[in-house]
Structure 1
């Protein structure tokens, strides 16, 4: 069994590492600030949904505009997991948590323009995550074409199905992402920060009430596994991409 990270999750760890080294940029001979800028820029290439006018990755176009249609729900937005055009809620939520904590810990050391870009990257994810937890009895944990979770290059404009579950793990990681992002936006956008915190509390309460591994839900197991499953029995958050 091998373990690989989705592309945008690897970029998140790169952002965290580069923030630690950016202060050494002038003395080490390596331009860590430029590397940090490119690491944050990477997320724009993974965007799904209606793209803004200031989109810097010009090759990326609008995509996934009918996501959630089969449930009469708006699931547009968020990030693709990799080149497979699937939106997995679990690793996206973890990525958002890490990005938010990077801003909380190192935001004061970031150039103003890159701090703005980092906050925009966080909000692109949290706007989507808010949609996934908007319904009181379920959470949307994955968006893809049914039965084609890992088929690279499938048409992003086809009707794509949202996969739901009513349990523990994904809700907890989403709660962590929303609460961390709430702290990141507290000074720059207090209203949005309050919205994130309120929804984080609701997501946590729901997860605490309905415990169990989300990948055990028969409605989503075939699509979530073997990519983001509870293999070890802890029934907690798992961020590895498991492949045999």
Structure 2
């Protein structure tokens, strides 16, 4: 290959790179779609202003097996199981985003939608942590759920529940749930002080699960 060919290839690649780094990216649109993606994962009785038009109410009997109300929260990655740990991490991340980038998100017209998304998660965590030293961390049977490809509005798979308590510890999910509640309380302090106090109080209660049992085994 001649030098002129190498030069032509280099210039073509450089031009493509230059166009990429200097292109206009619509970050507002990306932010909006990111939040709508999370809205599409909502479980339970959806609000009238719910944006994804293809979604409807689902899993309205969640928790019935254990005699508790576990309706709401978020589904996981494309399936219909509700896992407490990734849900709590997501809510924590959303809360910190609302705290650190409040003005930018407000300018994009998405602050109220983000706050609603956070509250959708924290309302669920409040239901899942009503009793001292007891936290419901999963709804749905992963094995059965993953054997079917069905939208949540039509699912017929078992909605079993999993909990952690003093006899069945789960420090990671308890810690992340407490973090989600605590971080969210900071965000809501300016818009709903009473709700913020409820969240921080529950965060303290959930964190006690970390110390209610003595485990003599390691994770690995």
Work out whether residues 90 and 170 of structure 1, in 8 Å CA contact, stay in contact via their aligned partners in 2.
yes
1:198 to 181, 198, 201: 201
1:133 aligned partner: 129
How is 1:134-153 mapped onto 2 (pairs within 5 angstroms)?
134-145=130-141, 147-153=143-149
Following TM superposition, by how much is the alpha carbon of 1:44 offset from its aligned partner in structure 2, in angstroms? Answer: 1.1
Query: What is the TM-score of this pair, normalised by structure 1?
Result: 0.72
1:57 aligned partner: 52
Q: 1:120 to 1:59 in 2, by over 3 A?
A: same
1:44 aligned partner: 39
1:122 to 94, 118, 122: 118
Following TM superposition, by how much is the alpha carbon of 1:81 offset from its aligned partner in structure 2, in angstroms? Answer: 0.2
* Structure 2 gap segments, 5+ residues each: 1-21
2:155 aligned partner: 156
Measure the CA separation in 2 of the matches of 1:205 and 1:137.
7
Secondary structure of 2:110's aligned partner: helix
* Structure 1 gap segments, 5+ residues each: 1-26, 217-229, 234-244
Task: Compare the two structures and name the one with the higher helix fraction.
Answer: 2
Q: What value does the CA root-mean-square deviation take over the aligned residues?
A: 2.2
Q: 1:212 to 1:114 in 2, by over 3 A?
A: farther
Following TM superposition, by how much is the alpha carbon of 1:71 offset from its aligned partner in structure 2, in angstroms? Answer: 0.7
1:93 aligned partner: 88
Question: How many corresponding residue pairs?
Answer: 191
Q: Which has the larger radius of gyration?
A: 2
Work out whether residues 169 and 212 of structure 1, in 8 Å CA contact, stay in contact via their aligned partners in 2.
no
Following TM superposition, by how much is the alpha carbon of 1:136 offset from its aligned partner in structure 2, in angstroms? Answer: 1.6
Measure the CA separation in 2 of the matches of 1:200 and 1:108.
26
Query: What is the TM-score of this pair, normalised by structure 2?
Result: 0.80
Secondary structure of 1:139's aligned partner: strand
Work out whether residues 66 and 159 of structure 1, in 8 Å CA contact, stay in contact via their aligned partners in 2.
no
